[in-house]
Amino acid sequence: MTGPTTRTAGQFPHPAAPPAPDRHAAPRAAAQPAPSAALPGSPELLRSVFRRHAAGVAVITAQDGGRPVGFTATSLNSVSADPPLLSFTIGTGSSSWPGVRDSEHLGVHILGEHQQQLAGLFARSGADRFGPGTGWAPGPHGVPLLDGVLAWLVCRVVARVPAGAHRVVIAEAVCGDPQGEGRPLLYHQGRFNALRD
């Protein structure tokens, strides 16, 4: 019969420590209310969703056989910084489409909150957009440039991509001026709006 087993320091078992947290584990999601029933995709659904999306307001200009044309766009997006690319969409039924389709260079103007009337003018079908009330002058590459905007670019068109009854125009900035004064004009819930403090 052997005597009691002797243990050296450090051999006695310790109470189990709680496991260390796994730093790579996904965080536990907080309880969320059940989403309402999803609606099927449709033009009405898309319009309803995008009425809740606040977008900046731009005017795109071009030459159409020596005549200036332009339209209000809320679809302007930055695509790439290097090369400096942007995009916007235009309907092929737009009166400005022939000029945008055939022009190598376009003007892109970021409107300020003081230019709601100008935005409305360039959005209105049949309006005299370059009439006596519109300040503008020919810019680089003959592109019509509007007065008093927050910023403008002259861009070279690199692609016109079909998208339903529209075209997604991708263009590269070749020159511009970002130094206009004021705050941006927004489009939200079907109206032009100013930023609120």
- The top-level CATH class assigned to 55-194 is mainly beta
Domains of the chain, by residue range, sit at: 55-194
**Mean local confidence (pLDDT), 53-64:** 95
The confidence band for 9, taking pLDDT boundaries of 50, 70 and 90, is very low
> Which helix or strand (DSSP H or E) is residue 47 part of?
helix 43-50
pLDDT of 195 reads 83
CA 171 – CA 67 distance, rounded (Å) = 21
Does residue 29 register a pLDDT over 60?
no
Give pLDDT tens digits for 133-186.
Answer: 999 999 999 999 999 999 999 999 999 999 999 999 999 999 999 999 999 999
Looking at the chain, list the stretches that DSSP marks H as alpha helix, in order from N- to C-terminal side.
43-50, 97-102, 116-123
Q: What percent of the chain has pLDDT over 70?
A: 82
pLDDT confidence bin for 106, thresholds 50/70/90: very high
pLDDT-derived band at 70, boundaries 50, 70, 90: very high
CA–CA separation, 91 and 56 (whole Å): 19
